Amino acid sequence: MLTNHFTLRRSLLNFLAALLLIPSLAMPVNALTKSEAEKLINSLSSDILRIINSGRRESAMFRDFEKMFAKYADVPTIARSSLGVARRSATPAQMRAYQKAFAGYISRKYGKRFREFIGSTIKVIKSRKTKRGYLVTSRVKFVNSDPFIVEWQVSDASGKDKMFDLIIEGISMLALERTEIGNMLDKRGGNLDKLIKALRKAG
C-alpha cells in the first residue's frame, strides 16, 4: 500500500473524473432540485465505498465499477468527448467498440488502486445552484490524512440526473482525462482501431 497521500488522492480523483467525462458545455436545467443533486452524489459515494470495502477479488470489483460507471455516467457522451475531434471520422461500429473498450479500461485502470482507499469517507456538505445545474460540495477523507474538498457539477439535461464535471482546487478534471486519451491516440498515429485494441488490454 502506498503511503504518499497525494498519490492516493490523485488516483481517486482520476477515477472519479473518468466517471464524469461529459463535455463541460453550458447545459439547460430541467426539473433537477438541490435535494436530488445531493442524493445523486450521496448515492455515488456510497456505491464507491461499498465496492472498495467489500473485500471482493479485483476481477469482481472491476465488474462492479463498470456497472457503476454505466449507472452514474452517460457512457456514449463520455466516449465521444474523450475522443475529441477524432470522433467525427469514426464509424458507428467503431464508436460502439470504443465505448465498450473505454468502459472496461477505466474500470480496470483505477480498480487496481482501490484497495488503497479502504476506510476512506466521502461526505456531501453543501450545494448551490449554477447555470448548468447544481454544484455539490463534498469532503473526502483518507485514513491518516487531512480532508480535502471535491466539487461535483450535476445536471439533468440528458434526461436523467448525471454528473458532468469534477473540480478539485479550481481544476476541472474533465480536461485532464480528455488529454490523457488524446495522448494515447496520438501515440498510435490517430488510428482509432489501434486505440480500441490497446484499451481492451490496458488498465
Q: Can you give the residue ranges of every domain in the chain?
A: 5-201
**Average per-residue pLDDT for the chain:** 83
For the residues 167-195, what does the mean pLDDT come to?
Answer: 87
Ordered strands of the 133-141 beta sheet: 121-130, 133-141, 148-155, 162-168, 171-172
What homologous superfamily does CATH list for 5-201? Tgt2/MlaC (3.10.450.710)
Exposed, middle or buried, 3 (CB in 10 Å: 0-12/13-18/19+)? exposed
User: What is the spatial distance between Cα 104 and Cα 201, in angstroms, rounded to a whole number?
Assistant: 9
For the residues 43-53, what does the mean pLDDT come to?
Answer: 91
pTM: 0.78
Q: What is the pLDDT of residue 12?
A: 67
Q: How many CA atoms lie within 13 A of 159 on its CB side?
A: 2
Percent of the chain with pLDDT over 70: 83
Report which residue type is found at 136: V
Q: What is the pLDDT of residue 29?
A: 47
Measure Cα distances from 182 to 83, 98, 106, 177, 195 in Å.
Answer: 7, 13, 15, 9, 10
Three-class secondary structure of residue 185 per DSSP? helix
Statement: residue 51 has pLDDT above 50: yes
Which residues fall within 8 angstroms of residue 134, CB to CB, at 6 or more apart? Answer: 32, 34, 37, 38, 127, 128, 153, 154, 155
pLDDT digits (tens, 9 = 90+) for 112-125: 777 677 888 999 99
Statement: residue 30 has pLDDT above 80: no
User: What is the spatial distance between Cα 77 and Cα 178, in angstroms, rounded to a whole number?
Assistant: 12
Number of other residues whose CB lies within 10 A of the CB of residue 113: 16
Q: What is the pLDDT of residue 64?
A: 92
67: nearest Cα among 106, 9, 22, 125: 106
